[in-house]
Amino acid sequence: MANSNLPRRIIKETQRLLSEPAPGISASPSEDNMRYFNVMILGPTQSPYEGGVFKLELFLPEEYPMAAPKVRFLTKIYHPNIDKLGRICLDILKDKWSPALQIRTVLLSIQALLSAPNPDDPLSENIAKHWKTNEAEAVETAKEWTRLYASGA
Amino acid sequence: MESEDDFDMQDANESADDDFYSGGEDDAVAGAYTMDSDDADVADYEFIDNDSDDSDDLASHRHQQNYTVLSEADIRQRQEDDITRISTVLSISKVAAAILLRYYKWSVSKVHDEWFADEEKVRKAVGLLEKPVIKFPDGREMTCGICFDSYTCDRLHAATCGHPFCDSCWAGYIGTAINDGPGCLMLRCPDPSCAAAVGQDMMNELASDEDKEKHSRYFVRSYVEDNRKTKWCPAPGCDYAVDFIVGSGSYDVTCRCSYGFCWNCTEEAHRPVDCSTVAKWILKNSAESENMNWILANSKPCPKCKRPIEKNQGCMHITCTPPCKFEFCWLCLGAWSDHGERTGGFYACNRYETAKQEGVYDEAEKRREMAKNSLERYTHYYERWATNQSSRQKALADLQQMQTVHLEKLSDIQCQPESQLKFITEAWLQIVECRRVLKWTYAYGFYLPEHEHAKRQFFEYLQGEAESGLERLHQCAEKELQVYLNAEGPSKDFNEFRTKLAGLTSVTRNYFENLVRALENGLSDVDAHGACSRTGSSKTLGGASSKGRGGRSKGSTSRSSVPNRNTDDSGHWSCEYCTFANIKIATVCAMCQQRR
């Protein structure tokens, strides 16, 4: 079974995620694959995503922690750094990855990204443009999408 | 061009049109010297040494070497020297000096400037900490920040910052970075908040042997690739780099692997044409040659009106579009009226098959005929460019063959030590070089504006002379040498052959050097003397007007004619016919036997 040789680091990280979860974040490993995590992030207060519950999937590749985890939004979200497939534009998931980072730090960074969209480094060109030309309207759309798709029903 | 005594100038005078070494007072080569009289004397000295083996050394003194070919060992040595220098001057470790130099693209002076301007800023940017940010644990157990296991401090390591990680995580971290590419040369501490650089010392201590080897390759490559003065030789499989003194004139360099290339654009060497023209030409070739190849491959010119016709369907009976309407056979291009049952009917053409066997259909002939369209001009230059290219490839192969097989054989037959046969290698090297120059003169010609008639004429004259001169040398090195190779034993006249071939090599080299210079100057001599003024001076490059060639030589002249240049300061006199520098007392040229 794939989980038999799980590195101690992953086991420890998992234990800690379960025993002391970060506020607004939950991550639990899949039963049949300990490298696959079901993640939920609560929309940060005072952001257009407030009140939403966002589902993500997180996978630890074979090379982890030398390589970054792979993370993707499963819930539809209107955000300039997240595309329609849920892929996230975040430096620590790419070239700024360091093995000293963890699942917890990655998820906290994603949470922070929800509070502070960065339309200057967009993944979704259209949404970023919307954000830059008419921020109020874009924020409204984000709120609308949160209500429609992330209301936790 | 077919007999051995071509070099005998008495004969040559009769056939002046294809003999650019001849021409009495109007000697083209003598004229070539006067194009740059500063060089003329040097060139003369060179002739004195024609028979000895060091004429090449003399030649290279004429151009100050503005580049150095570096082997990997040389590169490593220089790298090491630079690191040592910085380490000494800044009183920092060699590891730190290496990181610093790489950061500033191996510019020693830049490192000096930046460091002494603001050391703190530099340290911060580069990641050279003066003291650890955290105290490295001593004695007690610590948890590795990557694998979360506990280790005693002897199994933990840290960069200058002190952030501890276990040895196996370090090996994984460093290994991942090295396998990701040259970015491993800028590796920082794994702690996300820390910018401390990870140096060579840690690589050596913690990486696997295989990774160390890779890192070492990146390190040496960085010295060449990040350095503004150094470039790799672009020849496939060549490991040499060329260090170039930027701003020192001609970019053409010759690597130790014998590949000649332009240091600036790293295309093959292309004097006298400049880099932008070469880029234009290469682009044009890649675009146009496709076009032209298609036309050549898929169309034939109508035998009557010469328009290219694409046969896209049907039988061999072609009717050209109006107004021509000529009906012909696609295969033999003969009139259709001549065809019928007996010639094979609609689907074959016996006349064609027979004629083809007899070799009547000359592809080149057909191509020339076809050129009635806009591609004609380009085709003209491209063909010649490409022909010289393949000629050069052939000459290179011949040179190789010469060096590996023939020279040894010749040495046995003629009872000459191989060291005395160097003149043959030199001749072939010269041929290879001349083919290259000649090739690029066609790109030059293509871009020479059509309306500058005087320049065009002068250019074509120079090019023609160069071509025939080179043919002569090639002929001598190829055909005439064969006689001595096939001889049973030592030939009496072998020394004469040596003198002749060495002389031809030298004369051709001079001609081409002057040609290159003239073209690089944009044929400015023509400007200086007006488009069509016929110069009275006989000491000109193209000054063979007395041979009925006046139309082709007009406009050419020298910047400074040297009066009575037949004798130089050392008392040597140069032969008016072949330009050989003879000793003072000789009354007959040692090279061509012409009287003084």
pLDDT per position as a tens digit, A114-148: 999 888 777 777 888 898 889 999 999 999 999 99
Q: Residue A35 belongs to a domain with what CATH number?
A: 3.10.110.10
DSSP codes joined into one string, A74-88: -S---BTTB-TT-BB
Please tell me whether residues B578 and B515 are part of one structural domain.
yes
What is the band of B591 on the pLDDT scale with cuts at 50, 70, 90? low
- pLDDT higher for B345 or B38? B345
| Domain extent for A107 | 2-149
Please tell me whether residues B459 and B543 are part of one structural domain.
yes
**B541 pLDDT more than 80:** no
* Residue B298: its H or E element: helix B275-298
Domain end residue (candidates: B337, B353, B370)? B370
**Residue B386 within a domain:** no
Please tell me whether residues B76 and B61 are part of one structural domain.
no
Please tell me whether residues B39 and B99 are part of one structural domain.
no
Domains in chain A: how many in total? Answer: 1
* Residue B400: its H or E element: helix B375-401
Please tell me whether residues B462 and B512 are part of one structural domain.
yes
pLDDT on residue B555: 37
A-chain residues near B165 (CB < 8 A): 100
Please tell me whether residues B364 and B485 are part of one structural domain.
no
Task: Give buried/exposed letters for B80-102 (b at 16+ CB in 10 A, else e).
Answer: eebbeebbeebebbbbbbbbbbb
pLDDT on residue B16: 39
Tell me how far CA of residue B94 lies from CA of B82, B306, B353, B416, B551, in angstroms. 10, 74, 78, 55, 69
- pLDDT higher for B372 or A102? A102
Pick from A33-42, B21-30, B566-575: least confident: B21-30
Tokens at B130, concatenated: 């003066």
pLDDT on residue B317: 72
**Residue B300 within a domain:** yes
Domain end residue (candidates: B225, B245, B260)? B225
Q: To the nearest whole number, what is the mean pLDDT of chain B?
A: 76
Of A8, A13, A66, the CB nearest to B172: A66
| Domain extent for B89 | 72-129+170-225
What is the band of B272 on the pLDDT scale with cuts at 50, 70, 90? confident
**Residue B147 within a domain:** no
Please tell me whether residues B53 and B80 are part of one structural domain.
no
Please tell me whether residues B476 and B328 are part of one structural domain.
no
Contact B176 A9 (CB under 8 A): no
**Residue B52 within a domain:** yes
Please tell me whether residues B195 and B59 are part of one structural domain.
no
CA max distance for chain A: 52
**B20 pLDDT more than 70:** no
> Using CA atoms, how far apart are residues B428 and B523, in angstroms rounded to an integer?
28
Please tell me whether residues B42 and B102 are part of one structural domain.
no
Strand locations in B29-172, DSSP E?
67-70, 141-143, 150-152, 156-157, 165-166
Pick from B58-67, B220-229, B568-577: least confident: B58-67
pLDDT in tens, A32-62: 999 999 999 999 999 999 999 999 999 999 9
**Residue B266 within a domain:** no
User: A residues 105-144 near B, CB within 8 Å?
Assistant: 105
Instruction: Summarize the confidence of residues A72-97 as an average pLDDT.
Output: 90
Of B146, B149, B191, the CB nearest to A65: B146
Tokens at A106, concatenated: 């990655």
**Residue B295 within a domain:** yes
What is the band of B538 on the pLDDT scale with cuts at 50, 70, 90? very low
Task: Give buried/exposed letters for A124-143 (b at 16+ CB in 10 A, else e).
Answer: beebbebbeeeeeebbeebb
Please tell me whether residues B353 and B462 are part of one structural domain.
no
pLDDT in tens, B483-537: 888 888 888 888 889 999 999 999 999 999 999 989 988 888 776 554 444 333 3
**Residue B159 within a domain:** no
pLDDT on residue B50: 38
Of B147, B163, B192, the CB nearest to A9: B147
Instruction: Summarize the confidence of residues B228-248 as an average pLDDT.
Output: 89
Cα distance from A98 to chain B (closest Cα, Å)? 5
B-chain residues near A66 (CB < 8 A): 172-173, 175-176
Rounded to two decimals, the ipTM of the complex is: 0.83
Please tell me whether residues B190 and B284 are part of one structural domain.
no
pLDDT in tens, B346-383: 445 655 556 655 655 555 455 545 544 456 677 778 88
Domains in chain B: how many in total? Answer: 3
Domain end residue (candidates: B225, B240, B267)? B225
**B34 pLDDT more than 80:** no
